[in-house]
Structure 1
Amino acid sequence: MPVNRIVCVAGARPNYMKIKPVMDALERHGAEVVLVHTGQHYDESMNDVFFRDLGIRPPDRYLGAGSGTHAQQTGRVMAAFEPLLGELSPDAVVVVGDINSTLACALVAAKAGPLLAHVEAGLRSRDWSMPEEVNRVATDRVSDYLLAPSPDAAANLRAEGYREDQIHVVGNVMIDTLLANLERARASDVLDRYGLTRGGYGLVTLHRPANVDDPDALRGLLKALGEIAGRCPLLLPVHPRAAERLAAVGVPGGIRVVPAAGYLDFVALQDGARVVLTDSGGVQEETTALGVPCVTLRENTERPVTVEEGTNVLAGTDPDRITAVVHRVLDEPPAPRCPALWDGQASERIARILLEGGTARTRLRPTDLAPGLTAGAT
């Protein structure tokens, strides 16, 4: 029985850039695609502007999950998605990334029976304090198709005992969207609006709880950014969850805080920056594809390929180290490099795998586990 009806799930800003090219490719190949928006992100700055910029059609179904604790949010998505999946009876479900909606819909789909495909499978930070790490590992475990963006991600999956027929290195769907919209982004007037010149500023993003929720950690980061701004003025589009915390701590001079940017404006800001400082995984990827120096304000990254084969440098969160790393990058920018298969065709590869790969169940079974491992009893 061929795969015809496919549910594609999106829930938050990081998902939109990943699901759009996959939907387009599946529909070009004749699949019936149902777009389900969980509502994990719902305000205009994190939702509507991205749908407009990317040309994503309105979702076919909206679950209205809203905000809350990780357990509350995950539970609400599962409770809403389960009856919908029963109604739609899809042949396959596609989830992307590592947000709470990804895991919630993956768990429901795994129990309901349709094939489950995880886009961005195999990414690992090995930092279990990050909720995203729990989400991505658990999602991979219940998925049939593990669609990895790079060979290092595939190597992680092999090391965890997944079979070769589950693992597909397809490239990076974020880069599909970036390349498809790059000329439109470069036509944006956002640099003029902010009085910026190409190569004359640094761009900063901060949103990880470890960086913005702890006032002492945030003060340390802002101290480093203030010193860097003395050499290279910095622009900081404010993520909604960070706005109040930044205001409470106080932002040093030389750092210009502006509202959160839409997709096209933000790509233009990345493309024109002398350096980008970030704690975002997606920004590490986009700057690598653009050839722009990136300094990651984290102790680890689930995207080491951007360091090994891209323009990313891992600086950690110590203020003195961050300052030293950024000065070194400004003095000697890394040479532009881009990983293989980050060529704008990842979504085409995904569509062919899902639509031509048949419907054989490929999910990891207890008998597939490595020697010495056993599945837990229920």
Structure 2
Amino acid sequence: MKILTVVGARPQFIKAAAVSNIIRKEHNEILVHTGQHYDENMSKVFFEELKIPKPDYNLEIGSGSHGEQTGKMLIELEKIYLKEKPDLVLVYGDTNSTLAGALCASKLLIPVAHVEAGLRSFNSNMPEEQNRVLTDHISKLLFVPTQAAKKNLHNEGVQSGVYNVGDVMFDAVLNFKKLAEQKSNIINLLNMEDKEYILTTIHRAENTNDINRLKNIIEALNESNKTVILPLHPRTKKYVDSYGLKFNNNIKLIDPVGYLDMITLEMNSQKIVTDSGGVQKEAFFMKKPCITMRDETEWVETVENGWNVIVGTDKNKILDAILNFKTSEDQQNIFGDGKASCKILDIINCIVK
């Protein structure tokens, strides 16, 4: 069987690292990188350290408006699909690469498999939410990570082809945690001690593009007087500079890091403050308190389980959570058994002929 996989952003590289090696044991996989994340620290380093197979195609789309990015991807992907004639197109998550990969396949009547289907923030203004919903409704195979995701699809009338396989990012963490402990030297390079810092990530457009939201976040971090490690996303840096915002000395700014360094920083942190969907889950996997700077989350299970708190961009709520948020005693097993990739392969083998 020929399976064509479309990736384009950091979380998709991580998921592909878990799934592609399993798929390639039995099938011919064509890997297409759209180039949505094109910075080396956001892209190339992930392929190298996670030993993801080299992409067969790199579209090098780069930055642009949502319409521009998605349109360019559709044009180039159609050429590749017509040339390669895959039996199945596999997409991950909720980016413009996800939507373009799925929509192009659907137009050409190629079955689509969506990994991480069924997630909902119920905020239709989010581009990611639009991408999720549209992709789910044109997919033949929907691999959901949790029961809540399966329920979301059921409520939308999507019941055929839905499989709860668990979370492939849990597979990745289990696979790469030991490797990170062996190879990552970032804690020593930053001269940090275990659990003496807060790890923070800020990258969502809703936070970076709004001066008041970004200002509130930075002021809360500054006023916490906690040591904060902040790998600064290129978009965030651009807006921080253009708004003239300043970080206090307790904030240690570093360049974006690879996956092994990132999970090492997560493992050794005291708490995690983020607006990233993937990092919320990684915090849960690492059993770290997570403070989410969004108005809602698609990972409601982490909140219901007492390991994540939603604070929006209210400065006082962020500050209070940094200083006082404590987790529940136990964690429920809500993301599967770490074998999602194998289950995906088994289902593809049974369903796609």
Specify the TM-score bucket, using the shorter chain as the normaliser. over 0.9
Following the alignment from structure 2 to structure 1, what is the Cα–Cα distance between the partners of residues 17 and 252? 32
Counterpart for residue 128 of structure 1? 124
Following the alignment from structure 2 to structure 1, what is the Cα–Cα distance between the partners of residues 59 and 108? 18
Answer 1 or 2: higher relative contact order, Cα 8 Å, separation at least 6. Answer: 1
- Where do 1:1-378 residues align within 5 Å? 4-28=1-25, 30-163=26-159, 165-187=160-182, 188-228=184-224, 230=225, 232-247=226-241, 248-309=244-305, 311-329=307-325, 332-359=326-353
Contact 2:306 2:327 in 1 (8 A): no
Contact 1:305 1:339 in 2 (8 A): no
What is the percentage of aligned positions where both structures have the same residue?
A: 39
Contact 1:204 1:235 in 2 (8 A): yes
Following the alignment from structure 1 to structure 2, what is the Cα–Cα distance between the partners of residues 182 and 344? 13
Secondary structure (helix, strand or coil) at the match of 1:207 reads coil
Kindly state the Cα deviation for residue 293 of structure 1 after the two structures are TM-superposed: 0.9
Following the alignment from structure 1 to structure 2, what is the Cα–Cα distance between the partners of residues 220 and 340? 32
Secondary structure (helix, strand or coil) at the match of 1:302 reads coil
Following the alignment from structure 2 to structure 1, what is the Cα–Cα distance between the partners of residues 330 and 31? 36
Contact 1:20 1:177 in 2 (8 A): yes
Contact 1:310 1:338 in 2 (8 A): no
Q: With structure 2 as the length reference, what TM-score do the two structures score?
A: 0.96
Residues 198 and 334 from structure 1, CA distance in 2 versus in 1: closer, same or farther, beyond 3 angstroms? farther
Aligned pair count reads 350
Contact 1:279 1:297 in 2 (8 A): yes
The CA RMSD measured in Å over matched residues stands at 1.3
Residues 238 and 86 from structure 1, CA distance in 2 versus in 1: closer, same or farther, beyond 3 angstroms? same
Residues 125 and 61 from structure 1, CA distance in 2 versus in 1: closer, same or farther, beyond 3 angstroms? same
Residue segments in structure 2 that go unaligned for 5+ positions in a row? none
Residue segments in structure 1 that go unaligned for 5+ positions in a row? 360-378
Structure number with bigger Rg = 1
Q: Which amino acid aligns with 2:12?
A: N
Residues 260 and 338 from structure 1, CA distance in 2 versus in 1: closer, same or farther, beyond 3 angstroms? farther
**Which digits, 9 at most, give the CA deviation of each residue in 1:197-221, with x for residues without a partner?**
1111100000011111111211111
Q: Which amino acid aligns with 2:273?
A: L
Q: With structure 1 as the length reference, what TM-score do the two structures score?
A: 0.90
Kindly state the Cα deviation for residue 341 of structure 1 after the two structures are TM-superposed: 4.4
Following the alignment from structure 1 to structure 2, what is the Cα–Cα distance between the partners of residues 197 and 17? 27
Following the alignment from structure 1 to structure 2, what is the Cα–Cα distance between the partners of residues 336 and 213? 37
Following the alignment from structure 1 to structure 2, what is the Cα–Cα distance between the partners of residues 168 and 333? 30
Q: Which amino acid aligns with 1:17?
A: I
Kindly state the Cα deviation for residue 242 of structure 1 after the two structures are TM-superposed: 0.8
Secondary structure (helix, strand or coil) at the match of 2:334 reads coil
Secondary structure (helix, strand or coil) at the match of 1:142 reads coil
